[in-house]
Amino acid sequence: MRRLGLCLLGVTVLGLATAALAENWKPAPGEAKTFYDADFMRVDESSGLVLLRIAEGRPTGPYKAWPAGKGPILLFALDCAADKWIDLGMDFTGDQGLPKGWRKGEKVEDIKGAAGGAGRVACETKDTLPKVSLP
């Protein structure tokens, strides 16, 4: 009985860990083939930057099954108040990891020019996104 309880506890913890890496790809407004990961969007507590993942291709995941021909998944940090963005590179592994020193990247103007409709959605919903402490 004790083993069964431990097994069930382990399955529950595994399920929660998997949910943290869930993907929910939604179409970017005004763009035919661009999608954003609604589950990835969050606000960094220390900087106030909004993190965003976008991709061109199909709206279903998981990313590990995303065909290479469909284009990469791009990571951005958005400074909505200044209408600037930081290029965080591409997510090739699907681990949603951030590069070291990501907050210190060069800020470039025009969020819509880089992240399109998904960037607009991220900035409009910034106040409702989860605020997390990121490395």
Q: How many residues does the structure list for the chain?
A: 135
Which CATH entry fits the domain spanning 22-132: 2.60.40, 2.40.128, 1.10.10, 1.25.40? 2.40.128
**What pLDDT, on the 0 to 100 scale, is given for residue 21?**
58
Q: Up-side HSE of residue 8: CA atoms within 13 Å toward CB?
A: 5
pLDDT digits (tens, 9 = 90+) for 67-97: 555 667 899 999 999 999 999 998 766 666 7
pTM above 0.85, yes or no: no
- Structure tokens, 14: 């595994």
Percent of the chain with pLDDT over 90: 50
